[in-house]
Structure 1
Amino acid sequence: MTTVANPPSTDVIEPSKISPGQLLTSARIMGVATAVTGSSYTQRELLDIFEISDPKVRSVFLNSAIERRYLSLPPRDEEGTILPEAQGELLDKHKELALDMGARAIRTCLANAGIDVDDIAYLCVTTTTGFLTPGLSALLIRSMGLLPQTSRVDVVGMGCNAGLNALQAAAGWATAHPGQVAVMLCVEACSAAYVIDSTLRTAVVNSLFGDGAAAVALVADPSGSSAPRGTPTRFDGPRILGFTSHLITDAIDAMRYEWDDAQNKFSFYLDPHVPYVVGAHAEQVVDRLLSGAGLRRSDISHWLVHSGGKKVIDAVRINLGLTRHDVRHTTGVLRDYGNLSSGSFLFSYERLLQEEVATTGEYGVLMTMGPGSTIETALIQW
């Protein structure tokens, strides 16, 4: 167990900028880490492996702004032909990949934050690419040797926006339990959610997603001597100030994961108008997030947006009046990993930390988009 905390650092937010009820959490992001599967492939390599010759499909892959993705491809027969995977085999793949990536992301996250595994008091796991009962949280507690009294919750099936939904739940728990460690994990084995056919609809999905996991550790500042045993000794991560959500009910079917009778497995559908729908609603969600804190978009130093795809990123950037530099981590993650679903924004957050450019007092906006159609945002301050 780690030692009892020193007094928390002084807050830097200007109280005059926060309206009553706006400060919903005192949780801080103490550490972050990511993990991927073992093998990566360029878009051209994937086209060759699956022997895709249709020029329209090849164009979708090669014009995606994605260079490489981490995937666990289907097995092959003795002649090298790709073998089909039944839904049961895909669920087994999801379990294996998710437990491996998830455990590695959590362990590295804790090491980065100087926190012991035994100090985890709450674990929230979100995934969309598979279903298990008991869920991944229980399986990770057993496989990683977490304390059996660890509180836990599984968020399943919410899609690419789910990372911020889960972060809000974890931040709320941390705020209610000052000094105790909450861990939130996004883990998506997109390799276990693919359908292989010749349709252009499937090609769009298959050109986009990759495997990945991301974990964050959260702790709310304790009040000095009241810090419980196991509280971290430093509080230098950004504080989460609040969240906003928006459900675009007119586009509730624009992104959906549903059963495909022809394939006898689940299949993801992505409406081609999604980028424009999300972009058209981005301003009102972000402005609502900022207005409660008395902030404008120009007050935000760091933008960490979900890597949903080239058109999605461009639509959000244009509608919010952001520069390409503002979304450099978002586009970089898309280029190097593809769309990682719920954990994409944390891959961008990790890259921002590696730059070491964020300074005390600066604000950041986290933004995710997904089925519903849904836009989620969070405001943080270093």
Structure 2
Amino acid sequence: MSSLLSPESLAFCAKVMEKSGVSENIYVYGCQDFPPKSSFTCAREEAEIVISGAVGDVLAKTGVDPRDIGVVIVNISTFNPVPSLSAMIVNRFKLREDVLSYNLGGMGCSAGVIAVDLAKRLLQGRRNTYALIMSLESPTSSYYLGDDRSKLLSNCLFRMGGAAILLSNRPSDRLSSKYELKHTVRTHLGADDRAYKCVSQEVDKDGNIGMTISKDLMAIAGEALKANITAVGPLVLPISEQFLFLATLVARKVLKIKGIRAYIPDFKLAFEHFCIHAGGKAVLDEVEKKLSLTKWDMEPSRMTLYKYSNTSSSSLWYELAYAEAKGRIKKGDRIWQIGFGSGFKCASGVWRALRTINPAQEDNPWIDVIDQFPVTL
């Protein structure tokens, strides 16, 4: 792929990567082929590999019969072939004829939590069934070959990744489940033109399709996060923190008292673990600052970015797997997943651990290398 970019574009990408907080050992599917395969062919192969591996693993681990799955949801941003990827799962694993199948496209990196929210709502209408979620990204399909620097950023940041999640509303599964879903909260700023356009797929002057990332992204992400935590706070925070937040809000907005800063609640009173979408170093720096988190709190997100780069919606599950591999998850612990996505959206998932996770009994992508982390960035 590098031979298809100009020297100037390659130099720009190299400069971005040096400051990205990402390891040099990041894999891009299809780049070993010469002549290069088409982006569509690479993307389909990429999706088949990730889906068959992840879904096969989760079914093997849980012992669930594919015919017992009542809901299947795939979320992926830019690669949406025909038949759909959700249909690929139905075909490969021979799901039943009345399965509710959904394929969420173009929803960005927050779509993993959005898929969980959709699954939760669908399970509320069906009894004793399972919902299978496949969160993945296939950046090969949208690899940009032009010289527009705002579009070259996506080449530097996004990489292949995927995770399969199985949700159940069967009471008998509570004893064997890892986590209980407590809340999902979705915030959408798409009515604002500036937020709507800050991440968008466009054609450049030469006809090359690419993902434009605007300079407004960090400001918009901050606004989305603020709106989302305002909605999450009352659901999870102790009364004392809610009172302080409300009191400062009234003083600033209603009484118009100058000099009073917005009170940011201490979310460490509500959560033991934070899984923040590994969208990039700047995104993680901003969330760390906004929520007053520690290096320990941010470690799963930063190490996921370092080892896997931005795997879009699946990054939240790589981060949770990191915490599991480190032996951090104890029974009763509360986990906050925060995802950001084009549109512009912010979505939160709140979970509670139903049991202590023993790393020795886990098989996740970190197990073989976890002793090497954290690394110094």
Shorter-chain TM-score tier = 0.7 to 0.9
Shift of 1:213: 1.1
Q: RCO higher in 1 or 2 (8 Å CA, sep ≥ 6)? A: 1
| 1:225-284 deviation line (CA, Å, top 9, x unaligned) | xxxxxxx473432111112122232411000113446234x3111113312331344234
CA RMSD of aligned residues (A): 2.5
Q: Are 2:15 and 1:66 aligned?
A: no
Is the Cα–Cα contact under 8 Å of residues 280 and 319 in structure 1 kept in the other structure? no
Contact 1:129 1:190 in 2 (8 A): yes
Q: Any residues of structure 2 matched to 1:292-307 within 5 Å, and which? A: 292-295=235-238, 297=267, 298-307=269-278
Shift of 1:193: 1.0
**Preserved contact between residue 69 and residue 131 of structure 2 (Cα < 8 Å):** yes
| 1:132 and 2:88 are equivalent in the alignment | no
Q: Which secondary structure state, in structure 2, belongs to the residue aligned with residue 326 of structure 1? A: helix
Corresponding position of 1:164: 113
Report the CA distance between 1:51 and its aligned residue. Answer: 7.6
Separation in 2, partners of 1:329, 1:165: 21
Per-residue CA distance 1:288-312 (angstroms, 9 max, x = gap):
2131244451221010111100001
Give CA-to-partner distance per residue, 1:138-166, whole Å, 9 cap, x none. Answer: 12211233333322111111111111111
Answer yes or no: is the 8 Å Cα contact 1:107–1:117 preserved in 2. Answer: no
Displacement of 1:95 in angstroms is 2.2
- Residues 48-92 of structure 1 show CA distances to partners (whole Å, capped at 9, x for unaligned) of 996846654421121111113231135765xxxx75x7xxx3233
Q: Equivalent of 1:324, from 264, 289, 295? A: 295
Query: Which residue among 151, 156, 161 is the counterpart of 1:207?
Result: 156
Distance 1:351 1:289, change over 3 A: same
Q: Which segments of 5 or more consecutive residues in structure 1 lack a partner in the other structure?
A: 1-45, 225-231
Matched, 1:360 2:317: no
- SS of equivalent to 1:327: helix
Residue identity matched to 2:270: D
More strand by share: 1
Show structure 2 runs of 5+ residues with no match: 239-265, 354-377
**1:108 positional shift:** 1.0
Letter in 2 for 1:66: V
Tell me the distance in 1 between the aligned counterparts of 2:12 and 2:27. Answer: 23
Distance 2:309 2:280 in 1: 8
Question: Which residue is equivalent to 2:187?
Answer: 246
Distance in 1 between residues matched to 2:33 and 2:307, nearest whole Å: 26
Question: Is the contact between residue 283 and residue 320 of structure 1 (CA under 8 Å) also seen in structure 2?
Answer: no
CA deviation after TM superposition for structure 1 residue 185, in Å: 0.5
Tell me, in whole angstroms, the C-alpha distance in 2 between the residues paired with 1:202 and 1:145: 39
Contact 2:148/2:204, CA 8 A, preserved across alignment: no
SS at match of 1:365: strand
Asked if the contact 1:221–1:235 (Cα under 8 Å) also holds between the matched residues in 2, the reply is: no
Supply the AA of the counterpart residue of 2:20: S
Shift of 1:343: 1.3
Q: How does 1:41-80 map to 2 (within 5 A)?
A: 52=7, 55-67=11-23, 68-74=25-31, 77=34
Does structure 2 conserve the Cα–Cα contact (< 8 Å) formed by 1:307 and 1:313? Answer: yes
> What SS does the corresponding residue of 1:142 show, helix, strand or coil?
helix
Q: Which residue of 2 aligns with 1:258?
A: 202
Find the counterpart in structure 2 of residue 93 from structure 1.
42
Greater Cα shift, 155-164 or 289-298: 289-298
Residue correspondence of structure 1 range 1-382 to structure 2 within 5 A:
52=7, 55-67=11-23, 68-74=25-31, 77=34, 89-222=38-171, 232=173, 234-248=175-189, 249=192, 250-260=194-204, 262-264=206-208, 266-295=209-238, 297=267, 298-382=269-353
SS in structure 1 of the partner of residue 135 of structure 2: strand
Q: Which residue is 2:374 aligned to?
A: none
Task: Describe the SS at the equivalent of 2:81.
Answer: coil
Q: Secondary structure at the match of 2:55?
A: helix
State the alpha-carbon separation in 2 of the partners of residues 61 and 128 from structure 1. 22
Tell me the amino acid that sits aligned with residue 135 of structure 1: S
Aligned counterparts of 2:218 and 2:30: Cα–Cα separation in 1: 28
**Secondary structure of the residue that 2:109 maps to in structure 1?**
coil
Aligned to 2:246: none
Residue identity opposite 2:119 in structure 1: A
Q: Which amino acid is 1:147 matched to? A: R
Cα drift, residue 203 of structure 1: 2.9
Q: Percent sequence identity over matched residues?
A: 20
- SS where residue 197 of structure 1 aligns? coil
Given that residues 302 and 363 in structure 1 are in contact (C-alpha distance below 8 angstroms), is that contact kept between their aligned partners in structure 2?
Answer: yes
In 2, the alpha carbon distance for the partners of 1:312 and 1:233 equals 35
- The aligned amino acid for 1:112 is K
> SS at the partner of 1:300?
coil
Q: AA paired with 2:28?
A: L
